[in-house]
Amino acid sequence: MAEALVSAVIEQLISVVGEGIQQEVRLVVGVDKEVEKLKSNLDDIRAVLVDAEERQVEEKTVELWLDRLKQASYNIEDVLDEWNYALLEQRINQGVENVLIPGKKKVCFSFPSCCFSFKKVILRHDIAFKIREVNEKLDEITKQKQMLNFDVNRSVERSKRVQSTKFIDESKICGRAEEKDILIRKLCESSGEHLPIISIIGMGGIGKTTLAQLAYNDNDVINNFDERIWVCVSDPFNEYRIAKAIIEALKGSTPNLSELNSLLECIDSSIVGKKILLVLDDVWSEDSKNWEPLYDCLKKSLSGSKILITTRKESVVHMMGSTNTINVKELSDEECWLLFRQLAFFGLSQEECEKFEETGRQIVSKCKGLPLVAKTLGSLLRFKKHWEEWKCILDSKLWKLKEIEKDVFVPLLLSYNELPCMMKRCFVYCAIFPKDYILKKDELIKLWMAQGYVKEEENKAMEIVGEEYFDYLASQSLFQEFEKDNENNVIGCKMHDLVHDFAQFLSKNECAHIEVDGSKEPLKSSFNHKKVCHMMVTMYGEDLFLDSIFRLRMMHSFLMDTENSMATLPHDVMPKLFGELTCLRALNIAKGWRQNSLIEEIPKEVGKLMHLRYLNLSGLGMRKLPEALCGLYNLQTLDISRCVELEELPQGMEKLINLRHLENDSTWSLKYIPKGIQRLSNLRTLRYFVVSGSNDEKTCNLEGLKYLNLFGELYIDKLGNVSDVEEVKTSPLRNHENLVGLMLYFNKDIDGRERRNEEDEALLEILQPSLNLEKLTISSYKGNTILPNWMMSLTKLKHLTLFYCNNCKHLPPLGELPSLEYLTIRGMDSLKNVTNEFLRKENDGTSSSSVFFPKLKRIEFRNIRELEEWDYEITRIGEEEEVITIMPSLVSLTIHFCPKLKALPKHLVQNTRLEKEISYCPLLGYPRTW
């Protein structure tokens, strides 16, 4: 990825040495020439990098040259970043008002020529010295370049634009019907052996996991076992993590246990009397000492239980004592062809398919029967519309290379070489995560942004560019097993283990995942400490020793694998971590959802991380953040979500001028939002906003929201603290066109004054959101009606939730909302009747045909204790009843604790496909549960 790295450095150099800055450099004699020389060297080097990156796989000298270049480039990035940081700091210290210029994407500053303090002169000379130092190293690299005779003509600049096509979530399986039937029969048949182990064995990319998934999800297999458990094992074999995964599958939660024996006892008690199927996917370890305690524990399960493993190694099968094996064979050429053409010919006409078929079949003959290779090549060629491009792939000299570690890497390398240069860095960065890790899309994009791999382009925000990068990598079959939300949007994925191997092969130890076990060696030294730049650490046990990590002074990422961790960083480690790893761009020391945090204080040393772009402290136990954190002028993402003890944010938040994402959902203890936050013109994400009960000058009020341009969802808490509704003159939310979710909570501080009902009604009217809103929650509302003038204009609204609006006697005419899909109404103590006003406004003109709630899929009524009637009066038109349709798309009805409700309306009773969950409604015939 040297091409991408050098390109990024050149862009950064041009940005920092911009108009208004270069004149400042001249104050240090000769530095302007050094800067020009630096750029010239980098331009010369970039011209040969396409040829160099292709030759490195077969020429060791080229590989070593590229390694030196990458290390030098990282050094240059750090120097330029330090320079830019110093300029920002100087300007901010002179006056923050001059820094925050709304509407500007990027602001570059220079020192005023009148400032000649000793500190500034020292700073200039320090940066000048570092520039000369990196230039000397780059001089040597440039001289070595001449001796390697690179071909400049092959250095053709690829298009920087990502092709605007959505990836295919390809899931059709070819050629495994026979193996599937055999495996299902083996899993379901009785066996004389107690807890037999069935093995699926085959080379990487051949489809072992796919075959196991097919059987695991088969109805016969599902019905044959009481419990099914799937664990991704990978390398190394960590018995702690495997035991935790088994318990989570059995009990739905992860125990807070650190001793293996305690975990095994928990498994023991959970499987007694149960017939289980345990799948251990991708087993590598041949050490029986790791396996035997777990196997002995699993023997307590009921007769008929089975263990299924997938592995590439015969020795693993023998070690585990498996005598029942299925060897997964290569696909036939025809089966590979069917899988390949499914992707490569997507969207082509029959005539075009015939034009490419002969060349396509020749390419498929190189797949060696591996489904992964067929998918990768098919995905690559889907974007190539000319026969010459297909022929170029067929004739590539990479097919003839013998130096590549695995033959299957050749098609992956072909696909990788076609990626735009910055996207190469995004892909290789994924090697920092362990195998089988669920990559969260939003988190991954923010990490890419933190490393500078994603930049704004062509009026597109970085987040949008990052989404395009993710989609494009997925379209190349480099991601798989997509996780989706209720709206069918991809929110996560995995990498095939062989693709992960390939990413590690490319990173050459720059990206590393390390497992630290307190009971064993502190750090396995299977990576090169001098090269590693990005690291994720999974820690087990309590006695942690992290001195090895502190040797990696140049590290740019340090992430904790929080979901799998059984331990946390000791308190005395964090100041040392912050004080020494000062090159970090990304730092994650968050706690997982299921773990208790022992970290109650963030040390002031966090302010030393001047390069930091991404900081994740979510789930930690601190009550406040140090003011020093506001010195992180480059910070783009600050994640403090689920910090439920956090009471205050730093007062100097306005100094975080590059902050784009303040992930602070579930920070319920926050007393106020600092006023300075309204001056962050780059801020795009603010999850939680609390209205303070005091009018202190340091607090941001509702009016402050109008200065921001927020995306996503916003939770506004304690609206009951608004002391004077008339002070909120205009809607602070109306112009937030990218805000799609809004939660309005009208609760207040315990000692706050009681509000009149009409005050809540007036405030709700003022809080008019953009018409693009898709989700709305209104809670603890004291008004008598919920019908602001803007509500019926929300034509894109899909989700509506009304919580404990206890004074409302009538529901708004929600039947007229054209896009509403999910409706939840809970705890409306004054609601007794649901009649025609639920469908439409009063005095609406009638027609011979009307459809109400046209897209509603799910409706929930909960804890509406006084509700008695739910019915509609049908209007007569002349001699006939009006023809109306109500909730034609409804599939789910939930009614809980409506003890006085006498009957359901006809349209619900007559809906035979409706899934009903009714409980504690005795007059409906459901006295307790459904």
Q: CA-to-CA distance for 652 and 675, rounded, in angstroms?
A: 9
Which residues partner with 557 through β-bridges? 534, 586
Cα dihedral 902, 908, 910, 914, rounded to 10, equals -130
Residue 225: CB partners within 8 Å, gap ≥ 6?
275, 276, 277, 305, 306
Note the pLDDT of residue 253: 75
CATH for 207: 3.40.50.300
In the chain, the number of structural domains is 4
Q: Measure the CA angle with vertex 468, ends 466 and 472; round to 5°.
A: 120
For residues 286 and 792, the model is more confident at: 792
User: Per-residue confidence at 146, pLDDT binned at 50, 70, 90?
Assistant: confident
Q: CA-to-CA distance for 432 and 425, rounded, in angstroms?
A: 12
Note the pLDDT of residue 403: 59
Asked whether the predicted pLDDT for residue 75 surpasses 90, the reply is no
Q: CA-to-CA distance for 452 and 533, rounded, in angstroms?
A: 14
Q: CA-to-CA distance for 847 and 183, rounded, in angstroms?
A: 61
Which residue is associated with the tokens 């458990």? 229
- pLDDT above 70 as % of the chain: 85
Say if 364 falls within a structural domain. no
The least confident of 551-565, 803-817, 904-918 is 551-565
Say if 581 falls within a structural domain. no
User: Per-residue confidence at 629, pLDDT binned at 50, 70, 90?
Assistant: very high
DSSP 307-350: EEEEES-HHHHHHTT--EEEEPPPPPHHHHHHHHHHHHTTT--H
Q: What is the pLDDT of residues 344-357, one digit of tens each?
A: 998 888 888 888 99
Taking alpha carbons only, the member of 148, 219, 133, 145 closest to residue 180 is 219
Determine contact, residues 374/213, Cβ cutoff 8 Å. Answer: no
Q: CA-to-CA distance for 305 and 406, rounded, in angstroms?
A: 37
Q: Are residues 136 and 19 in the same domain?
A: yes
Q: CA-to-CA distance for 786 and 794, rounded, in angstroms?
A: 14
Please list the helix, strand and coil fractions of the chain in percent, rounded to the nearest 5, in that order: 40, 15, 45
Q: Which domain holds residue 89?
A: 2-154
Q: Are residues 832 and 910 in the same domain?
A: yes
Note the pLDDT of residue 930: 45
Say if 614 falls within a structural domain. no
Q: How many CB atoms lie within 10 A of CB 518?
A: 15
Q: How many CB atoms lie within 10 A of CB 228?
A: 16
Count of alpha carbons within 13 Å of 470, Cβ hemisphere only?
A: 25
Note the pLDDT of residue 547: 65
Note the pLDDT of residue 116: 36
Rounded average pLDDT over 811-828: 96
Determine contact, residues 570/544, Cβ cutoff 8 Å. Answer: yes
Across 799-926, where does the E strand assignment appear? Answer: 799-803, 822-826, 833-834, 849-852, 858-862, 869-870, 876-877, 880-881, 883-886, 892-896, 915-919
Note the pLDDT of residue 719: 94
Q: CA-to-CA distance for 356 and 350, rounded, in angstroms?
A: 10
Q: How many CB atoms lie within 10 A of CB 65?
A: 22
Phi (first) and psi of residue 296, to 5 degrees: -60, -40
Strands 227-234 and 324-327: unpaired
Q: How many CB atoms lie within 10 A of CB 885?
A: 12
Q: Are residues 121 and 31 in the same domain?
A: yes
Q: CA-to-CA distance for 522 and 734, rounded, in angstroms?
A: 54
Q: Are residues 139 and 195 in the same domain?
A: no
Which residue is associated with the tokens 């022929």? 391
For residues 811 and 241, the model is more confident at: 811
Q: CA-to-CA distance for 115 and 90, rounded, in angstroms?
A: 10
H or E segment to which residue 65 belongs: helix 60-94
Say if 217 falls within a structural domain. yes
Sheet of strand 557-560: strand arrangement: 511-517, 534-540, 557-560, 586-588, 614-616, 637-639, 661-663, 685-686
Q: Are residues 192 and 141 in the same domain?
A: no
Q: How many CB atoms lie within 10 A of CB 524?
A: 14
In eight-state DSSP terms, residue 3 is H
User: Per-residue confidence at 523, pLDDT binned at 50, 70, 90?
Assistant: very low
Rounded average pLDDT over 610-637: 94
Both tokens of 612, joined, read: 């930091």
For residues 542 and 182, the model is more confident at: 182
Strands 799-803 and 775-779: parallel
Q: Are residues 10 and 150 in the same domain?
A: yes
Sheet of strand 799-803: strand arrangement: 688-690, 712-717, 739-745, 775-779, 799-803, 822-826, 858-862, 892-896, 915-919
Q: What is the pLDDT of residues 866-892, one digit of tens each?
A: 999 999 887 655 556 667 899 999 999
Determine contact, residues 655/631, Cβ cutoff 8 Å. Answer: yes
Q: CA-to-CA distance for 329 and 608, rounded, in angstroms?
A: 55
H or E segment to which residue 372 belongs: helix 371-381
Strands 490-494 and 439-440: antiparallel
Note the pLDDT of residue 118: 42
Taking alpha carbons only, the member of 345, 314, 26, 320 closest to residue 168 is 345
Q: CA-to-CA distance for 260 and 518, rounded, in angstroms?
A: 12
Note the pLDDT of residue 114: 39
Q: CA-to-CA distance for 265 and 247, rounded, in angstroms?
A: 10
Taking alpha carbons only, the member of 658, 620, 657, 663 closest to residue 638 is 663
Q: CA-to-CA distance for 549 and 589, rounded, in angstroms?
A: 14
Taking alpha carbons only, the member of 486, 505, 182, 214 closest to residue 326 is 182
Say if 564 falls within a structural domain. no
> Contacts for 258-264 with beta carbons within 8 Å, 24 or more apart?
258/540, 258/541, 258/542, 258/566, 258/567, 260/293, 264/293, 264/294, 264/297
Asked whether the predicted pLDDT for residue 551 surpasses 80, the reply is no
Q: Are residues 117 and 249 in the same domain?
A: no
Note the pLDDT of residue 695: 75
Asked whether the predicted pLDDT for residue 616 surpasses 70, the reply is yes
The least confident of 164-173, 301-310, 699-708 is 164-173
User: Per-residue confidence at 173, pLDDT binned at 50, 70, 90?
Assistant: low
Taking alpha carbons only, the member of 584, 583, 631 closest to residue 607 is 631
Q: Are residues 201 and 302 in the same domain?
A: yes
For residues 403 and 83, the model is more confident at: 83
Q: CA-to-CA distance for 423 and 661, rounded, in angstroms?
A: 22
For residues 531 and 171, the model is more confident at: 531
Note the pLDDT of residue 103: 39
Q: How many CB atoms lie within 10 A of CB 467?
A: 18
CATH for 458: 1.10.10
Determine contact, residues 812/778, Cβ cutoff 8 Å. Answer: no
Q: CA-to-CA distance for 63 and 61, rounded, in angstroms?
A: 5
Which residue is associated with the tokens 């315990």? 750
* 3-class SS letters over 811-840: CCCHHHCCCCCEEEEECCCCCCEECHHHCC
Q: Are residues 123 and 199 in the same domain?
A: no
Rounded average pLDDT over 654-667: 95
Note the pLDDT of residue 902: 95
Rounded average pLDDT over 667-685: 94
Q: CA-to-CA distance for 561 and 514, rounded, in angstroms?
A: 10
Amino acid at 369: G
Say if 454 falls within a structural domain. yes
Domain boundary among 477, 507, 537: 507
Q: CA-to-CA distance for 831 and 873, rounded, in angstroms?
A: 18
Cα dihedral 888, 891, 895, 900, rounded to 10, equals 30
User: Per-residue confidence at 852, pLDDT binned at 50, 70, 90?
Assistant: very high
Rounded average pLDDT over 203-222: 90
* pTM of the predicted structure, to 2 decimals: 0.87
- pLDDT above 90 as % of the chain: 41
Say if 370 falls within a structural domain. no
Determine contact, residues 757/807, Cβ cutoff 8 Å. Answer: yes
Domain boundary among 308, 327, 346: 327
Determine contact, residues 833/869, Cβ cutoff 8 Å. Answer: yes
Q: Are residues 53 and 196 in the same domain?
A: no
Q: Are residues 140 and 232 in the same domain?
A: no
Q: Measure the CA angle with vertex 675, ends 672 and 677; round to 5°.
A: 100
Domain boundary among 289, 307, 327: 327
Q: Are residues 145 and 209 in the same domain?
A: no
Say if 376 falls within a structural domain. no
Taking alpha carbons only, the member of 441, 439, 435 closest to residue 454 is 441
